[in-house]
Amino acid sequence: MRRVVFNQKGGVGKSTITCNLAAISAARGRRTLVVDLDPQANASRYLLGAALDEQKKTLAHFFDDILAYKMFADKPGAYVASTPFANLSVLPSDPRLEELQVKLESRYKMYKLREALDSLKEFDEIFIDTPPAMNFFTRSALIATDTCLIPFDCDAFSRRALYSLMDNVREIQSDHNRSLRVEGIVINHYQARANLPVRMVEELRAEGLPVLEAFLSASIKIRESHQQALPMIHLDPRHKLSLEFEALYSLLAG
């Protein structure tokens, strides 16, 4: 199972949701991989902490080898790094992805990620974190995935971005990946006592958009989670937000 977490708007919690769902998957015994396609490398830093700086192979090295047409290049598994958490690995990001993007796009390498993930048969679940833009890496991710999960922050800017995002996903589905489906919209930073989020969720549902039932609350605890490089179930498994992530994963897992 492959799942892309994507929104063209930044600050909606893509990396946080990716890593916390992946951590729960791994904790439940599933062999789980996070693919970090965002040059900011937030997901990689979240799972590896300071060890990210010691990584000798990243996704940038993987794409370097693709561009160089190396006959004896390493297999995709060689770029995978172990995390401190059982069953959880990461294909780490690298700031150099930004400069590689134009070269990869000009040579039409959008299917290479799918080929790489097809070869990583040892993983039960793959979560793909994406940049906050509809660029080469995001398109590659949507071509390579089964489903797309959309984090949504309850404000007007997020709502405007949502419609464009849905159109982009439909275009990828039509042109490149017939099996791609939107798994649902994740309401993040939700405040049940505030009028705007409640009203906006009701309006999205009225429009027929696939809003998931499991909401994620706003919590200062998540900053501590980032700082310590510990997903919520490892930092504080009894915290309200940890339980909400558990509920979201259970909903997705069926």
248: domain CATH number? 3.40.50.300
Q: What is the 3-state secondary structure (H, E, C) of the chain?
A: CEEEECCCCCCCCHHHHHHHHHHHHHHCCCCEEEEECCCCCHHHHHHHHHHHHHCCCCHHHHHHHHHCCCCCCCCHHHHCEECCCCCEEEECCCCCHHHHHHHHHHCCCCCHHHHHHHHCCCCCEEEEECCCCCCHHHHHHHHHCCEEEEEEECCHHHHHHHHHHHHHHHHHHHHCCCCCEEEEEEEECECCCCHHHHHHHHHHHHCCCCECCCCCECCCHHHHHHHHCCCHHHHCCCCHHHHHHHHHHHHHHC
CB 229 within 8 A of CB 45: yes
Assess whether pLDDT exceeds 70 at residue 35: yes
Domain that holds residue 68: 2-253
For residue 126, count CB atoms less than 10 angstroms from its CB and return exposed for 0-12, middle for 13-18, buried for 19 or more. buried
pTM: 0.95
- Position 14 confidence tier, pLDDT thresholds 50, 70, 90: very high
Of 128-137, 151-160, 164-173, minimum mean pLDDT range: 151-160
Question: Domain tally for the chain?
Answer: 1
pLDDT in tens, 192-246: 777 888 888 999 999 999 999 999 999 999 999 999 999 999 999 999 999 999 9
Averaged confidence pLDDT in the chain: 93
The whole-number average pLDDT for the span 46-75 is: 88
- Position 68 confidence tier, pLDDT thresholds 50, 70, 90: confident
Assess whether pLDDT exceeds 70 at residue 95: yes
User: What pLDDT score was predicted for residue 209?
Assistant: 92
Distance set, CA 163 to CA 155, 170, 235 (Å): 13, 11, 35
pLDDT in tens, 161-199: 888 899 999 999 999 999 999 999 999 988 877 788 888
229 CB-side CA count, 13 A: 15
